[in-house]
Amino acid sequence: MPRPLTTLALPLLLALACSDKNTSQPAGNSSTTVPEVYKKIYGASSITSDGTWLTIRSKGLPDHKSPYYPATNALYENFSGTTFRGVTFQKNPNQIVEKNYVFKIPLKPAEAAVKQATPLGPIGVSLNGVPFFNQYAGPSQPLTNEIVSFDRYWGHPAPGGFYHYHVEPIYLTVEKVGKSALLGFLLDGFPVYGPEENGTLVAEASLDAWHGHKHATTDFSAGIYHYHITGNDPYLNGAGFYGSPGTVSQ
């Protein structure tokens, strides 16, 4: 007659049974949980999904040259000349510093019943992992005096080394993907596109108060609300997030 399991043997057998199952999660991008469109964020160190939220990790380092890198960095350049809107470049005192961003955005974004204003700091992530910031240099302060510090690719670092784009990231639109292409996502999960659609400049009058509109895109054939970066204030985002934003930590 078989002897009953002891109180010590039963937990051991359960543990062994569980160890036979593959419970590990795939590292980095998972083809089973992360839709292909999000894998265009080539600057992410990892992209994962739990079916409701996408978690995008990034070091926030531009993959292009900048005078804001330390002189010992291979991407440092001693830039001088003109920048956004033809203004003469004036370097600010900050340097680019590696970060550990964790962007958490909804996998299935939806219009929010009550819209929220975008905060200062990161409001989304671009394809190369650099954050998007909104149209303000400070609380209700336009970018007028900050534009001079944009490098040749129209980005700059804030105090603390937080490199970011307020306006069109021309390294992406001119040298990488094109002016009609997907450029990233805001924290509400809605995509950001360049200043053109099918090679034609987007008419700002066609955009709503949040600086976007809804129709089919190359990446979303069924149609989706999306933002457009344009050459005039508010550049990327207008009255706030169209959807309910997720979170970002660093």
Other residues' Cβ atoms within 10 Å of the Cβ of residue 222: 6
Tokens of 47: 């992209």
Which residues does 200 contact at the CB level (< 8 Å), separation at least 6? none
17 lies in some domain: no
Provide the pLDDT for residue 32: 52
Q: What's the average model confidence in pLDDT over 209-223?
A: 97
Q: What's the average model confidence in pLDDT over 193-199?
A: 95
19 lies in some domain: no
Q: What's the average model confidence in pLDDT over 110-119?
A: 97
181 lies in some domain: yes
Q: What angle do CA 245, 185, 91 make, to 5 degrees?
A: 105
Give the pLDDT band (50/70/90) at residue 33. Answer: confident
Whole-model pTM? 0.87
For the chain, the domain total comes to 1
Averaged confidence pLDDT in the chain? 89
Full residue range of the structural domain in which residue 107 is found: 26-249
173 lies in some domain: yes
pLDDT in tens, 173-191: 999 999 999 999 999 999 9
199 lies in some domain: yes
8 lies in some domain: no
Share of the chain above pLDDT 70, in %: 87
166 lies in some domain: yes
30 lies in some domain: yes
Tokens of 167: 């306006």
Residue 11 has pLDDT above 70, yes or no: no
Which residues does 248 contact at the CB level (< 8 Å), separation at least 6? 101, 102, 103, 104, 121, 122, 131, 187
Q: What angle do CA 121, 69, 66 make, to 5 degrees?
A: 85
Give the pLDDT band (50/70/90) at residue 53. Answer: very high
